[in-house]
A = this chain, B = another copy of it.
Amino acid sequence: MRVAELSRLSGVPVPTIKFYLREGLLPAGELTSRNQARYDDRHLRRLRLIRAMTDLAQVPLAGVREVLEALDSDTMSMHDRIGHVHRAITPSRRLTADDSARTAAATQVGELVARHGWSVEPDAPALATLVDTVAMMRSLGQEHLLGHLDAYAEAAEHLATLEVAAVSSRPDPDQLAEGVVVGTLLGESVLAALRLLAQENASARLLGG
């Protein structure tokens, strides 16, 4: 297809596509004349992946470049490739809690991860977010809400197994990466919305008049 068709199918304006081409984020098309090139489905999928990262996750272009290099690597395992995408789109969210609450939270989270036998890197951004959030709950005197942390972890583990299986069923690396971006970010929003609805339902059942 021509660049105009690529633009129409992806919803990305032609000047933006040309910018991605100049920056090397999108591989060059096959030249058919001095000024014209032909593009294929691989270009379309890669464009969709770039937009999913920049639009849904506000990943800066340097981060997008890093992810694409990881995807195109011949030496990385699928797990490492997915890990690169995953981390690029999920920066840690920092909250400020006092030091003693933070120390207690780090112990609580470390024990939780060990108890469930999870294999996670010690520098995973989500680990820092989790410690900070638990510390904040402790600082606010709401430790009792953490009593069901294991139930949360079990639910997360159950869903994550289904999610990784669904995402990794896609054979093409770009499609797989797009699934990781969309599934991680929009999946979080789906789960959060369902939790709010389930809370409304549980409140109606347990406390309704």
Query: With an 8 A cutoff between CB atoms, is A161 at the interface?
Result: yes
List the number of copies, as a whole number. Answer: 2
Between-chain CB contacts (< 8 Å), 5 pairs: A82-B203, A133-B190, A142-B179, A145-B182, A163-B202
Q: How far is the CB of A19 from chain B (nearest CB, A)?
A: 22
Residue numbers in B under 8 Å from A190 (CB-CB):
130, 133-134, 137, 146, 149, 152
Tally chain A residues at the interface, Cβ within 8 Å. 82
- Give the complex CA separation of A133 and B192 in angstroms: 11
Top 4 nearest A-B pairs (CB, nearest first) are A77-B209, A160-B198, A126-B196, A130-B193
Q: Is A166 an interface residue (CB 8 A)?
A: yes
| Given A124-B196, A129-B193, A157 and B202 contact (CB-CB distance below 8 Å) | yes
A90 to B193, CA, bound (A): 9
The answer on a CB contact under 8 Å between A79 and B148 is: no
The docked-state distance in angstroms from the alpha carbon of A157 to that of B195 is 7
Which single member of B136, B151, B167 contacts A158 (CB below 8 Å)?
B151
Contact partner of A186 (CB less than 8 A), chosen from B136, B156, B199, is: B136
Once the chains are docked, how many angstroms separate the CA of A166 from the CA of B152?
14
